[in-house]
Amino acid sequence: MLRASCGLTQQQVADRTGVSVSYISKVENDRLHFGDYPSEKFIHKLAGELEADEDELLLLADKVPASIRKRIRQRPELFRKLAKLDRKSLDAVESSLNRAKP
């Protein structure tokens, strides 16, 4: 668990992010109810406190990071094609992208 690996208690995270301990517990134990899911603002604060990748936390919370959302809007047809690829094809695309890094 990321929080524990940072040496923080639920109380410390709750205090630093402005939510209740029970909310932190619900998030950690995947016991949130509809409408209780973390906001992007909360995830931003949490990423800062845990020194975690904000985009990864957003994706874990089923929220699309703004930078990715922007790209999807620019090229929706490309993302539809990517979504339909099988694992082997996605691995090939990723390998190609890794070789083409600027």
Asked whether the beta carbons of 40 and 58 are under 8 A apart, the reply is: yes
Whether 14 and 23 have beta carbons less than 8 Å apart is answered as: yes
In tens digits, what is the pLDDT along the chain, a chain of 102 residues? 789 899 999 999 999 999 999 999 998 888 888 777 888 899 999 999 999 999 999 888 888 888 999 999 999 999 999 999 999 999 999 999 999 866
Domain residues of the chain, as ranges?
2-63, 68-99
Query: Which tokens hold the place of 46?
Result: 């949490």
Fold of 2-63: 434 Repressor (Amino-terminal Domain) (1.10.260)
* pTM over the 0.85 mark: no
